[in-house]
Amino acid sequence: MRNKYMKAKTILVTGGAGFLGSHLCDRLINEGHNVICLDNLQTGYKQNVAHLLSHSSFEFIRHDICETIRLEVDEIYNLACPASPPHYQNNPVGTTKTCVLGSINMLGLAKRNNAKILQASTSEVYGDPKVHPQVEEYRGDVNPIGIRACYDEGKRCAETLFFDYHRQHGVKIKVMRIFNTYGPKMDPDDGRVVSNFIVQALQGKDITIYGDGSQTRSFCFKDDLLDGMQALMNSDDAITGPINIGNPDEFTIKELAEEVIRQVDTTSQIIYKPLPADDPTRRKPNIEKAKEILNWQPSIKLSEGLKPTIAYFDSLLRGEIKL
Ligand code: NAD
Ligand code: UDP
């Protein structure tokens, strides 16, 4: 039980064994909080938090957020959801359930505890955007019956639920729209572009560009992203978002492939494969709100952030890290 004189908070991180969640657990433990990491291990690995398991302030619970759970918490970071297109399309009904039922359950938990809750929303709420760069006011262009809709519409509905729990029940909410983020502890097999290209380059295999590689993304290193996430959670209660957090440096996918080839110094060749349906043609966050409201902006360039990311995948492929 928490001592009322202790300043440490009890913080629930759903999806805490995933890429972003596991780094967040590290940060919160280092700050002296009690952390409950809840994850069904659908796309995450217990290994990502293995070093925390013996820590007295850390608890791992294997649980699906589509099921209710009773816990005593002060804050909730709701990160549970597969993030890579191949993973979230693998069980699309499950993805929508995680976004919608999972959000209802976590919002209910926040309501019972009078806890603050942050939602890891996504740039995908803008779909294939007709407004560029994307501002928070833009309502997006999502194909509601397409193969990405389970995620895009699921996350849009989650945002609706967050704002309705806020208006109807007074729940303290923080909605963060995350743009493509990369770094160590991404799943090497999850099919996202940064992990695919690095693993392919390290193995000397062909680098698979989908389409002609002219589509763009703006890549944020995980440390910058987590700074933004924590700044939002720790901001005044009046700040609900939605707020874009991402790096506005925009690259074509071909430019990303060339940078990875240069840094890995590989003999891999670029090959072209069909573009998946509804693949957004361009994406870049407008981060003026984050700058103004949170005093946050990213500082790590793609060329810098790729270095520790490549080193991580190299260690993994050499067997120095096991998942
Ligand atoms: P990830 O796949 O590495 O992590 C997600 C974690 O959630 C995994 O550990 C998985 O096992 C867990 N999970 C999935 N469904 C669950 C369920 N029903 N119950 C309990 N746990 C469940 O992905 P990530 O990149 O760390 O993304 C974290 C969050 O941030 C996700 O909500 C994602 O939608 C959001 N996001 C990420 C990015 C990005 O570029 N990384 C971009 C936009 C939004
Ligand atoms: N992509 C690619 N090769 C790959 C994986 C992805 O060219 O091996 C492309 C994909 O079609 C998309 C971009 O890279 O245009 C980003 O894909 P990712 O799955 O990382 O994220 P999202 O599309 O959700 O932004």
Q: The tokens of 267 are what?
A: 């003999």
Whether residue 4 is contained in a domain is answered as no
What pLDDT does residue 7 have? 75
Q: Is 92 exposed, middle or buried (0-12, 13-18, 19+ CB in 10 A)?
A: middle
Q: Atom 41 of ligand 1 has which residue's CA nearest to it?
A: 181
> In the predicted model, is pLDDT for residue 6 greater than 70?
no
Distance between Cα 216 and ligand 2 center (Å): 9
Distance between Cα 34 and ligand 2 center (Å): 36
The reply to whether the predicted model has a pTM over 0.95 is yes
Catalytic residue, from 151, 165, 182, 312: name it. 151
> Tens digits of per-residue pLDDT, 167-220?
999 999 999 999 999 999 999 999 999 999 999 999 999 999 999 999 999 999
What pLDDT does residue 1 have? 38
Distance between Cα 186 and ligand 1 center (Å): 10
List phi, psi (to 5°) of 15. 75, 25
Residue 17, ligand 2, Cβ within 6 A? no
Distance between Cα 80 and ligand 1 center (Å): 5
> Tens digits of per-residue pLDDT, 79-138?
999 999 999 999 999 999 999 999 999 999 999 999 999 999 999 999 999 999 999 999
Output helix, strand, coil percentages for the chain, rounded to the nearest 5.
Answer: 40, 20, 40
Whether residue 2 is contained in a domain is answered as no
Q: Counting ligands in written order, which one lies closest to the CA of residue 219?
A: 1
- Structural domain count of the chain: 1
Whether residue 323 is contained in a domain is answered as no
Residue 193, ligand 2, Cβ within 6 A? yes
If you average pLDDT over residues 231-235, what whole number do you get?
Answer: 98
The residue whose two tokens read 């043609």 is: 281
Residue 216, ligand 2, Cβ within 6 A? no
Mutate to test the pocket of ligand 2, among 181, 192, 306 (most ligand atoms within 8 A of CB): 192
> Tens digits of per-residue pLDDT, 131-166?
999 999 999 999 999 999 999 999 999 999 999 999
- Write out the H or E segment, with its range, that includes residue 250: strand 250-252
> Tens digits of per-residue pLDDT, 10-26?
999 999 999 999 999 99
> Tens digits of per-residue pLDDT, 235-257?
999 999 999 999 999 999 999 99
What pLDDT does residue 248 have? 98
Q: Is 189 exposed, middle or buried (0-12, 13-18, 19+ CB in 10 A)?
A: middle
Which residues have any ligand 1 atom within 6 Å of their CB?
14-15, 17-21, 39-44, 64-66, 79-83, 98, 102, 120, 122, 178, 180-181, 187
Distance from chain centroid for Cα 323: 19
Q: State the closest ligand 2 atom to the C-alpha of 84, by its place in the atom list counted from 1.
A: 19
CATH number at residue 37: 3.40.50.720
Whether residue 158 is contained in a domain is answered as yes
Whether residue 68 is contained in a domain is answered as yes
Q: Is this complex scored with an ipTM above 0.90?
A: yes
pLDDT category of residue 4 using cuts at 50, 70 and 90: low
Q: Counting ligands in written order, which one lies closest to the CA of residue 129?
A: 2
Cα separation, 74 vs 61, whole angstroms: 17
What pLDDT does residue 196 have? 98
- Write out the H or E segment, with its range, that includes residue 157: helix 149-169
Q: What would the 3-class secondary structure string for 213-235 be?
A: CCCEEECEEHHHHHHHHHHHHCC
> Tens digits of per-residue pLDDT, 264-313?
999 999 999 999 999 999 999 999 999 999 999 999 999 999 999 999 99
> In the predicted model, is pLDDT for residue 2 greater than 50?
no
Whether residue 100 is contained in a domain is answered as yes
Q: State the closest ligand 2 atom to the C-alpha of 215, by its place in the atom list counted from 1.
A: 15
Domain that holds residue 48: 10-317
Using alpha carbons, select from 161, 166, 10, 4 the residue that is nearest to residue 73. 10
